[in-house]
C-alpha cells in the first residue's frame, strides 16, 4: 500500500468519525415512571458515574449529545429525558416528531410481575405502539401525515434493573423470559408494520458495559 493510499484511508476514517459527531443518531427513551430512564441518561453522559435519583423527571428536558465508545468503535447519539406520567405522554410524541427519532428504547422493570394490579407499563406501551403505528401525528387537535422517515428503524424493549430481579425468576433463555410477555402483542403489531422489535436486559445504574453495548448493537444491527 502506497503512502498516498494510506493517507486517503486515514482521511476517510476521520471524515467518517466527524460525520458521526455532527450527525448524531436520534434515540428516544420512553417508559413508565421510575423504570430508570433518568439513570440511563446519566450513564450515557458520564459513564460509571450515576448519582442517586431523588426526584422524578418533570416534562421534557433538552436533548443532549452522548458519545458511545465500545470495542474500538464510536457512535454519537442524542437523547432527551422525559417524564413517564400520563401527563407527559404527548411529550414523547412531540419528541419523536420534532427530532425524527431513529431508534426507540422502551424501558421496563419487573413491577408488573410483582404487582399484578400495576398495569402502568402496559398502558405506556400500548400508547407508544399506537402512536408509532398511526399514519398521522395527532398533535394539538391537528393531524400531520407521517413520511417514511417518521417511523423508527427499531424499537427495543429494555428490561432494566436486571441486577435486582435476575434471581427472582427461573429462566433458561432471556429472550423467552416472561418479563416480556405483557408486551408481546405490541411487539407483534410493530413487527407487522415492518418495524423490528427486540428484547434486551440491562442494569442501567450498575453496569455501564451493558448500556453502551446495547446502544451500539442497536445502531449497528438496525
User: pTM value?
Assistant: 0.87
Q: What is the pLDDT of residues 19-77, one digit of tens each?
A: 555 679 999 999 999 999 999 998 998 877 776 776 667 667 777 888 888 888 889 99
Q: What is the pLDDT of residue 22?
A: 61
What is the CATH code for 25-221?
A: 3.40.50.300
Kindly state the average pLDDT of the residues 153-171.
93
- pLDDT higher than 70, residue 17: no
> In sequence order, which residues have a C-beta less than 8 Å from that of residue 155 and are 6 or more positions away?
103, 104, 106, 132, 187, 190, 195, 196, 197, 198
Q: How far apart are CA 17 and CA 35, in angstroms?
A: 33
- pLDDT higher than 80, residue 10: no
Q: What is the pLDDT of residues 85-116, one digit of tens each?
A: 999 999 999 999 999 999 999 999 999 998 88
67 with 75: CB under 8 angstroms? Answer: yes
- pLDDT higher than 90, residue 120: yes
109: its cell numbers: 422493570
Q: What is the pLDDT of residues 121-159, one digit of tens each?
A: 999 999 999 999 999 998 777 888 999 989 999 999 999
DSSP 48: T
Q: What is the pLDDT of residue 158?
A: 98
From the CB of residue 159, how many other CB atoms can be counted at a distance below 10 Å? 22
Q: How far apart are CA 29 and CA 10, in angstroms?
A: 34
Q: How far apart are CA 60 and CA 83, in angstroms?
A: 7
Amino acid at each position: 500500500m502506497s503512502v498516498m493510499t494510506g493517507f486517503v484511508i486515514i482521511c476517510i476514517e476521520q471524515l467518517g468519525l466527524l460525520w458521526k459527531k455532527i450527525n448524531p443518531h436520534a434515540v428516544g427513551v420512553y417508559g413508565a415512571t421510575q423504570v430508570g430512564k433518568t439513570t440511563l441518561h446519566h450513564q450515557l453522559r458520564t459513564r460509571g458515574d450515576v448519582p442517586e435519583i431523588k426526584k422524578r423527571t418533570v416534562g421534557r428536558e433538552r436533548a443532549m449529545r452522548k458519545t458511545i465508545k465500545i470495542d474500538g468503535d464510536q457512535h454519537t447519539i442524542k437523547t432527551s429525558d422525559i417524564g413517564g406520567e400520563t401527563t407527559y405522554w404527548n411529550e414523547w410524541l412531540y419528541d419523536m416528531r420534532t427530532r425524527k427519532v431513529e431508534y426507540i428504547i422502551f424501558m421496563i422493570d419487573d413491577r408488573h410481575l410483582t404487582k399484578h394490579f400495576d398495569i402502568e407499563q402496559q398502558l405506556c406501551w400500548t400508547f407508544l405502539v399506537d402512536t408509532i403505528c398511526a399514519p398521522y401525528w395527532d398533535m394539538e387537535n391537528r393531524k400531520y401525515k407521517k413520511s417514511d422517515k417518521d417511523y423508527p428503524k427499531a424499537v427495543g424493549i429494555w428490561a432494566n434493573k436486571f441486577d435486582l430481579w435476575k434471581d427472582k425468576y427461573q429462566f433458561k433463555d432471556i429472550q423467552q423470559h416472561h418479563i416480556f410477555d405483557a408486551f408481546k402483542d405490541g411487539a407483534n403489531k410493530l413487527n407487522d408494520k415492518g418495524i423490528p422489535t427486540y428484547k434486551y436486559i440491562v442494569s442501567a445504574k450498575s453496569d455501564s458495559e451493558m448500556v453502551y453495548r446495547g446502544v451500539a448493537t442497536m445502531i449497528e444491527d438496525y
